[in-house]
Amino acid sequence: MNTPVFSKRTATLDMARYEVASLLWLGEHAPGFVAVPCDPHTGEAVTVLPTAPTVATVQATPVRPTPAAAFAAGEALAALHQNPAPAFGAPPSYGGKPYAGETYIGRLAQPCEPTDHWAEFYTAQRVLHPARLARDAGTLLPEEFALLEEACAALLDCAEPWAHRDPVLVHGDLWTGNLLFTTTGPLLIDPAAHGGHPEVDIAMLALFGVPYWEEIVAGYSRVAGDCSAALERLCIHQLHPLAVHTLTHGRSYASSLVQAARATLAYVQ
């Protein structure tokens, strides 16, 4: 039996079930790049959703990242993003049907309601949902929320092709801690998987910092083509994690959220 090198216990059963469904969904389309869920007691691969709030994986030994490994991670992420999703906001598909439980980012519940258009999904379900909660909690000022609403309105009016692309499978919570480097290669853990815009994963890696960022971008570009234009609009896709962090971590993130909203307006208008 292999020993899990990454194992965790979630706060609730719903969180564990969503995370396992996300891992299985992504892993089906990106084998070897997504940490495979396993039973924490037996080490056997999971074939059903858990009945206890525990998520575990069986993988190789963690190692320090290298430029070559970062390049490979970029390639693998771009390959994952080649897989179409049924809709923006589509939840993981598990056992031949969509996952029907609560969906989360970290411990925060967030909606996953399938939507045809990216901007409609992103502004309502990913940006304004946590921002409204942050405003009500006092970590986002009313005038700051109004600026965010203005930025979201501009995204809804945007006619550029990048804003009208088809949905793909995305990790959904890809900060640097959820990209592991191991002896078998880079691995994704802790997803908040859904149908989305591929730039959200790139934007989150950039926002919170990741080793060998330039190599990751180079690997991604080798598979997906030149992504220099996408790098110019990272601020748009960073609105979501910054809104979430303004709610969960307080006003220390509000200024960054406001800055991203202003940058979004400048880019779109």
The residues assigned a catalytic role are 173
* Long-range CB contacts (within 8 A, 24+) of 229-234: 229/162, 230/162, 230/199, 230/202, 231/202, 231/206, 232/267, 233/162, 233/199, 233/267, 234/199, 234/202, 234/203, 234/206, 234/207
Q: Where are the alpha helices (H) located in the chain, listed in sequence order? A: 13-29, 67-80, 118-121, 129-137, 142-157, 199-208, 213-224, 228-232, 234-237, 239-249, 254-268
Q: Which conformational region is residue 250 in: left (phi greater than 0), alpha (psi within -120 to 50 degrees), or beta? A: left
- Residue 253 identity: Y
| Cα 206 from chain centre | 12
Phi, psi (deg, nearest 5) at residue 228: -65, -35
Q: Measuring CA to CA, which residue among 239, 238, 255 is closest to residue 140?
A: 255
- Residue 53 identity: P
Residue 228 to residue 225: CA distance in whole angstroms: 9
Residue 7 to residue 10: CA distance in whole angstroms: 10
15 neighbors 54 (Cβ within 8 angstroms) = no
Question: Tokens representing 60?
Answer: 């190789």
Q: Measuring CA to CA, which residue among 123, 140, 106 is closest to residue 247?
A: 140
